[in-house]
Amino acid sequence: MIRTRLEDPQTTAGNPAMVWMQRKLAERGITLDTDAPLAEVPEPSPALVAAQERIPCDYREAQVEHPDVARWVRSVADSAVGHAASPLVPHFGSAGQREITHGRSLLLWGPTGAGKTHEAYGAIRALTAAGCGVRWHKTTAADLYGSMRARGGHDPEYLLRRIVRMPLLLLDDLGAAKSSEWTEEITFRLLNWRCEHRLPTIVTTNLAPVRTPQMDPRQPVLRDKVGDRVLSRLSGMCTPVHLEGPDRRFHAA
């Protein structure tokens, strides 16, 4: 939360508008304490306010709970810069003027209801609350593939380019949609471009990245769904965070 503080607290005494209001109130038998200093009122972060309007209701109070996610937020926030950041203009890049440009990505994986999407929105809220300007977009993998299907009056390539270049992207439920060579190509193009340009991406999935000896051989893993090329990009660009625990939605119900 950003606060502003006046060096010398201002009073209402002597203010022409307050003098007129005081006279009008006096006519009604109401008096004001004109020597009382104005209360210090916290100013909301504009970025956080804007983000709140786009975040779904269920996640508008989301907070970062996992320490690895908190460290990721700090690293991305610390790398945020101003539009014209340079030694010649040192005031650029200060709080309230910085924007997310580059940084490492984040892979949140674990069972359904473990809090992956909650943690992802908590990270977005934490970045905006830190005073960073954040242009972000959220989509599920299934919605992404649906929007890419050709239809009249619709340019899927334009939409993909717009999503690919978004400074911060939340790609939710990767591996949940039915896979095919076409979906693998879309995912590869999206993540490969973001990997090469080091654009922060938060990816959530219910699947373990790779199979381990202890796993049921019938249980799918992310490699089965997205292929080795996509998994390789995710491995190179993401900090993996495993979330465990009971299904929060069942617990709340």
Tell me the CATH number of domain 46-252, given options 3.40.50.300, 3.40.50.10490, 1.10.274.30, 3.40.50.720.
3.40.50.300
Q: Give the Cα separation of 77 and 71 in Å (integer).
A: 10
Q: What is the pLDDT of residue 14?
A: 62
**Digitized pLDDT (tens) for each residue of the chain, 253 residues in all:** 444 444 454 555 566 777 777 777 777 777 656 555 545 544 555 556 666 778 999 899 999 999 999 999 999 998 887 655 455 555 444 444 578 888 999 999 999 888 999 999 999 999 988 878 788 999 999 999 999 987 777 788 999 999 999 999 999 999 999 989 999 999 999 999 999 999 999 999 999 999 888 888 888 999 999 999 999 999 999 999 999 877 766 666 5
Q: At 116, is the secondary structure helix, strand, or coil?
A: helix
Looking at the chain, which residues constitute the CATH 3.40.50.300 domain(s)? Answer: 46-252
pLDDT score, position 6: 44
Burial of 4 (0-12, 13-18, 19+ CB in 10 A): exposed
Q: Determine phi and psi for 242, rounding to 5 degrees.
A: -95, 120
b/e code 103-130 from CB counts within 10 Å (16+ = b):
bebbbbbbeebbbbbbbbbbbbbbbbbb
